[in-house]
Chain A
Amino acid sequence: MLRIEPREAPSRWWTLGVPVISALLALLLAAIPLAAAGANIVEAYKQMFNGIFGSVFAFTEMLTRATPLIFTGLAATMAFRAKLWNIGAEGQLYLGAMAAVTVGTGLIDAPSFILIPIILLAGAAGGAAGMAGPAYLKVRFGADEVVTTLLLNFIILIFLQMMLEGPLQDPMGMGWPQSEPIVDNGILPQLVPRMRLHSGLIIALVAAAIAHVMLSKSVWGFKLRAVGENAAAAFHAGIGVRRTLMSAAIVSGALAGLAGVSEVAGLRGYLTTDLSPGFGYTGIVVAMLAGLSPIGVVISAVFIASIFVGADTMSRAIGVSSYLSDLVVALSLICVLIGGFIAKYRIIRTNKGDV
């Protein structure tokens, strides 16, 4: 018989080691379908490694992919820590992007050091508005935010299509559903010459650092954690539960909105309906892998971006399906969840006695 009981204090090595071991285990498990697809496993992983670290181009591409994931991972983290299940980062990302192209395509004429902060603020405000609505419905009427935020994603996407074929459409775009380009002064500067990596990454890292400090060192973070861990006790102790939930929602939505700004103003330059290949949803995976730690989000976003970019390269080089990258991401999430469980609980084999 097996019995499960909580470990008194999960050791530091476990908490750090589990994600790493899980990631390695996931790669190991992914070898099985790779082999089944008839690929040379060593060659496949070599290609994958090259796809991440093989050149400056590969490495900067990986970081470019990690940038929006850091934002959406942080968005999920800040909401989930308050037990506010924001599944709507995808929609909030697009709201942020729409706000960015609204102010950034010629509406305001200003030098970079003024225009870029305005675009960032507008995007954050757009995303925040997208989460403030469901959060208000939750604290006021008890509406389940999982449902409202998830469904809002689809509404926002259709709204985006409408805008891109209407007011936001580029008149020079030959009828394509795309926005006007962000003006030059509004573009986030590149970090490496001739590479796509942009300063959205710096903003994401700063956001992660601020999120970490706010969560662990500020009164606001204290309240947010208290509400998330035990709302009844927090309320009894005099913490404004509704206000805390609303503020967590706004911060979470703003971070998701920044993901949209960073993609539009840093990478693409204009807005289309395929700006995000599900960054909002992947952000949830990033956050869970990171154990809802803002610093961990940076690491897990880089890890997941590596898998995506690496698997892309691999599939192109040796001709296996690129869906394998999704598989590795899923496997690593499962491994980390199991690993996290093992780190928190002890499984004890109870002796059956003499029989």
Chain B
Amino acid sequence: MTNPCVLSLNNLTKRFGSVVANDAVSIDLHRGEVLSLLGENGAGKTTLMNMLFGHYVPDSGSIDVADEFGEMHPLTLGHPQAALDAGIGMVHQHFTLAESLTALDNILLGSESLLSWRHNRNAARRKINGIMERTGLAAPLDEPVGKLTVGERQRVEILKALYHDARILVLDEPTAVLPPQEADTLFENIGAMTTGGLSVIFISHKLREVLAFSNRIVVLRHGKKVGEIATEDADERVIARMMVGADTPATPRVSMEPGAKVLELKSVTVKGDNARTTLHSVNLSIHAHEIVGIAGVSGNGQSAMARVISGLASPDSGVMLIDGHKINRFTPPAMQKAGVGRIPEDRHHEGMIGAMSVAENLVIERLDDPEIQKLGFLRRKYIRSNAEELSRTYDIRGPGIDADARLLSGGNIQKLILARVFERSPRLILANQPTRGLDLGAANEVARRLLKARARGAGVLLISEDLDEILALCDRVIVIHDGQLFEAHSKDRQAIGLMMAGENIC
């Protein structure tokens, strides 16, 4: 990359008490380049970006940014407005849009003075239309943001940054919330933007994306820059080794003879309002010693299926059998009793209660157990020792078993849920997006546990938007499209991708 440098971070160091969040990190970004910033959770990516945006003042080091003529100037540190003025824009993982305002209002927010008249908007609209044309970022400007899809909202965020003349754009895990199709569109848009001279810093966990769409990769570990590599020289193993500091052995998947049927769905139909919540006469069976993957673009009925198997909703017609027994009542306790272990899609919202302790969260699914209660009163001693044991076995790290579960990191919350599900040795495990948003180490742990359960004789239904994960873990792959299931006859990535898009379905 011979283009001129537009941003250089020089030896940035930040300490929080005794913790060194960033240790002399230096990064250069060139014009028109996509730079990936990789690292496990807690590696210091966020701290680094917060220093760039003036939210934190570095303990030492400096930042230089190019102005519109390409001359480098030092950036005033600890001053967000300075970062904005220097043409640095950020799109956060969690969007910062006002839902009741239109997309246009959101884009203009913060750039209009209180006293300006509305006629300035026509000029603004022309400018935004120009940007949309150049980059292919399409969003309905006059709809309230609350009515837009996640992908559209993200495009509004990017448009907002570009409207404010950003020359450097930071995207924090932009694809964590997007279905694969929309992610691909996003990357096309990024491509169009970089040809126009924009430079992009791209924070992600997904190695495949990083490899496919960036020019250069910088890896952070424990606050230090541990590697920098041109994408063309990198492959997944090289990067994974940089990220965790050692080779991560892909968990060996021995082949196993499938056993008896643990789950059978016979013409299960759910009538929903939209594709997300609809299933059309679905048939599916899962055997012991088998992991079955449901691949598909999100919003094609995965959530309806998960809700039925979790006991959160009843099907409108059809039969569900677990271990050969027909399910009559579709409630969470009935499913638990039947032997279904459930890893919910939204672990923060459905998987745990943030304001209750880790120990309490670990027993929440078995309150009627005589080990947990005696005559309606909790057996604190058992609950605590149970939590201590599970924290050890499942390596749940955090401020302790009496601390609120909300204080755990995403990966540790997932470990808590795994501990709760797997300790009951369920016959069937429903894992709905079990690694979404997790770092590599935690995602590997989930995979290891699922394979272990399979070895024990459980059947696993893995719903995931990450096709690589499904291909790596599953014995059989089933594609869900428009509320219907289609068995994939091979693990051919291309063919499955086409089926996910609704083509070549036989």
A-side residues, CB < 8 A to B, are 1, 3, 8-9, 217-220, 222-223, 225-226, 229-230, 232-240, 350-355
Q: Which residues of the other chain, B, contact A354 by a CB distance below 8 angstroms?
A: 76-77
Q: In the complex, are the beta carbons of A222 and B342 less than 8 A apart?
A: no
Contact of A229 among B310, B333, B353 (CB under 8 A): B353
Q: In the complex, are the beta carbons of B407 and A8 less than 8 A apart?
A: yes
Known interface pairs A226-B356, A353-B79; 18 further A-B residue pairs with C-beta atoms within 8 A, sorted by A's residue number: A3-B55, A8-B407, A217-B378, A218-B377, A220-B376, A230-B349, A232-B349, A233-B352, A233-B364, A234-B364, A235-B312, A236-B312, A236-B342, A236-B344, A236-B351, A238-B367, A350-B55, A352-B78
Interface size class of B (residues with CB under 8 A): 35 or more
Q: Restricting to B328-377, which residues have a CB under 8 Å from any CB of A? A: 331-333, 336, 342, 344, 349-356, 360, 364-365, 367-368, 372-373, 376-377
Q: Which residues of the other chain, B, contact A238 by a CB distance below 8 angstroms?
A: 331-333, 336, 365, 367
Q: CA of A236 to CA of B368 in the docked complex: distance in angstroms?
A: 15
Q: In the complex, are the beta carbons of B312 and A226 less than 8 A apart?
A: no
Q: Which residues of the other chain, B, contact A351 by a CB distance below 8 angstroms?
A: 57, 78
Q: CA of A234 to CA of B82 in the docked complex: distance in angstroms?
A: 45
Q: CA of A219 to CA of B312 in the docked complex: distance in angstroms?
A: 22
Q: In the complex, are the beta carbons of B54 and A353 less than 8 A apart?
A: yes
Q: Which residues of the other chain, A, contact B367 by a CB distance below 8 angstroms?
A: 219, 222-223, 238-239
CB distance from A241 to the nearest CB of B (A): 10
Q: Which residues of the other chain, A, contact B368 by a CB distance below 8 angstroms?
A: 219
Q: Which residues of the other chain, A, contact B352 by a CB distance below 8 angstroms?
A: 230, 233
Q: Which residues of the other chain, B, contact A3 by a CB distance below 8 angstroms?
A: 55
Q: Which residues of the other chain, A, contact B310 by a CB distance below 8 angstroms?
A: 236
Q: In the complex, are the beta carbons of A226 and B353 less than 8 A apart?
A: yes
Q: Which residues of the other chain, B, contact A235 by a CB distance below 8 angstroms?
A: 312, 332
Q: Which residues of the other chain, A, contact B355 by a CB distance below 8 angstroms?
A: 225, 229-230
- B399 on the A face (CB < 8 A): yes
Q: CA of A225 to CA of B367 in the docked complex: distance in angstroms?
A: 13
Q: Which residues of the other chain, B, contact A223 by a CB distance below 8 angstroms?
A: 367
B79's nearest neighbour on chain A, judged by CB, is A353
Q: Which residues of the other chain, A, contact B56 by a CB distance below 8 angstroms?
A: 350
User: Please, could you name 9 A-B residue pairs with CB atoms under 8 Å apart, sorted by A?
Assistant: A9-B403, A9-B407, A219-B367, A219-B372, A233-B352, A237-B365, A238-B332, A238-B367, A350-B57
Contact of A218 among B342, B364, B376 (CB under 8 A): B376
Q: In the complex, are the beta carbons of A233 and B349 less than 8 A apart?
A: yes
Q: Which residues of the other chain, A, contact B353 by a CB distance below 8 angstroms?
A: 226, 229-230, 233-234
Q: In the complex, are the beta carbons of A219 and B354 less than 8 A apart?
A: no
CB distance from A9 to the nearest CB of B (A): 7
Q: Which residues of the other chain, A, contact B57 by a CB distance below 8 angstroms?
A: 350-351, 353
Q: In the complex, are the beta carbons of A233 and B351 less than 8 A apart?
A: yes
B403's nearest neighbour on chain A, judged by CB, is A9
CB distance from B70 to the nearest CB of A (A): 24
Q: Which residues of the other chain, B, contact A239 by a CB distance below 8 angstroms?
A: 364, 367
Q: CA of A233 to CA of B55 in the docked complex: distance in angstroms?
A: 34
Q: Which residues of the other chain, B, contact A240 by a CB distance below 8 angstroms?
A: 333
Q: Which residues of the other chain, A, contact B312 by a CB distance below 8 angstroms?
A: 235-236
Q: Which residues of the other chain, B, contact A234 by a CB distance below 8 angstroms?
A: 353, 364
Q: CA of A351 to CA of B360 in the docked complex: distance in angstroms?
A: 40
Q: Restricting to B82-133, which residues have a CB under 8 Å from any CB of A? A: 82
CB distance from B82 to the nearest CB of A (A): 8
Q: Which residues of the other chain, A, contact B332 by a CB distance below 8 angstroms?
A: 235-238
Q: CA of A1 to CA of B377 in the docked complex: distance in angstroms?
A: 49
User: 4 closest A-B pairs (Cβ-Cβ)?
Assistant: A353-B78, A238-B332, A238-B333, A229-B355
Q: Which residues of the other chain, A, contact B360 by a CB distance below 8 angstroms?
A: 222, 226
Complex interface bits, B317-333 against A, C-beta within 8 A gives 1, otherwise 0: 00000000000000111
Known contacts A220-B376, A238-B333; A233 and B350 CB within 8 A of each other? yes
Q: Which residues of the other chain, A, contact B55 by a CB distance below 8 angstroms?
A: 3, 350
CB distance from A353 to the nearest CB of B (A): 4
Known contacts A219-B367, A219-B376, A223-B367; A355 and B79 CB within 8 A of each other? yes
Q: CA of A350 to CA of B50 in the docked complex: distance in angstroms?
A: 12
B342's nearest neighbour on chain A, judged by CB, is A236
B57's nearest neighbour on chain A, judged by CB, is A351
Q: CA of A236 to CA of B344 in the docked complex: distance in angstroms?
A: 8
Q: In the complex, are the beta carbons of B365 and A229 less than 8 A apart?
A: no
Q: CA of A353 to CA of B54 in the docked complex: distance in angstroms?
A: 9
Q: CA of A220 to CA of B377 in the docked complex: distance in angstroms?
A: 8
Q: In the complex, are the beta carbons of A229 and B356 less than 8 A apart?
A: yes
CB distance from B238 to the nearest CB of A (A): 37
Q: Which residues of the other chain, B, contact A225 by a CB distance below 8 angstroms?
A: 355-356
A1's nearest neighbour on chain B, judged by CB, is B80
A225's nearest neighbour on chain B, judged by CB, is B356
Q: In the complex, are the beta carbons of A353 and B350 less than 8 A apart?
A: no
Q: Which residues of the other chain, B, contact A219 by a CB distance below 8 angstroms?
A: 367-368, 372-373, 376-378
Q: In the complex, are the beta carbons of A218 and B378 less than 8 A apart?
A: yes
Q: CA of A350 to CA of B372 in the docked complex: distance in angstroms?
A: 47
Known contacts A219-B376, A353-B57; A226 and B77 CB within 8 A of each other? no
Q: In the complex, are the beta carbons of A8 and B399 less than 8 A apart?
A: yes
CB distance from A11 to the nearest CB of B (A): 13
B407's nearest neighbour on chain A, judged by CB, is A8
CB distance from B91 to the nearest CB of A (A): 20
CB distance from B54 to the nearest CB of A (A): 7
Q: Which residues of the other chain, A, contact B333 by a CB distance below 8 angstroms?
A: 238, 240
A216's nearest neighbour on chain B, judged by CB, is B378
